[in-house]
Amino acid sequence: MIVMGALLSTSHWAFPRFSGLKVRKQSRRAIINIDSSGLGSDSWPVSVAWRVLDSGREGHILIKPAPTWRGWEDEAEEIHGISRERLEREGISPAEAAHQIAMALGGLEVHSDAPALDQIWLDKIFAAASRFPVPAIRRYGDLFPGAGRREYQALVRQVGDQVADWKALADIRKLAVAVSRYELG
């Protein structure tokens, strides 16, 4: 008896066309990168980029400052290239940012190359939308089992710069390529 492509024997199901294939389980991992208005206690997240490693799906958002978010450092703007005026014009509210991040990364292992700092920024974003759980950020190095910090950082440096409209997005693309190269051996 043939049922939906599988052969039914008295003891078990057999899938003859797939018997030698190994199916890779989706590991549900993502990388996040957050740029900020500075590093002071009054600083805030301005740009969030993410990439889901197994699917390649990525996203990027600009965040309009909440009324209480006032800190701004010119040096930070020079690094990420995003002006406060652009954020006011093109950014989304922190609540909408939390919604988009939660929809994109909910249920995933989220990794960062600066987990403590990015967790602070993510907590600040999600404080505006308490109906979503804040993703817990893990160390980027956890994506390189068996490798030391120097080893995986050297691999990231070897990747070189990636092209993207936004610094945060270029950064996660670079990190994703390094993970892929490490996993492929």
Second CATH level (architecture) for the domain 22-184: 2-Layer Sandwich (3.30)
Backbone angles phi and psi of 136, in degrees to 5: -85, 130
Cα radius of gyration rounded to whole Å, the chain: 21
Tokens of 129: 């939308």
Rounded mean pLDDT of the chain?
Answer: 85
Model pLDDT for residues 113-160, shown as the tens digit of each residue: 999 999 999 999 999 887 888 999 999 999 999 988 899 899 888 998
What length does the chain have?
A: 185
Three-class DSSP category at 170: helix
Q: Return the domain boundaries, the chain.
A: 22-184
Cβ 31 vs Cβ 24: under 8 Å: no
- Residue 22 has a CB neighbour count (10 Å cut-off) of 6
Q: In what order do the strands lie in the sheet with 13-14?
A: 2-3, 6-8, 13-14
Q: Is the pLDDT assigned to residue 8 strictly greater than 60?
A: no
Model pLDDT for residues 68-82, shown as the tens digit of each residue: 999 999 999 999 999
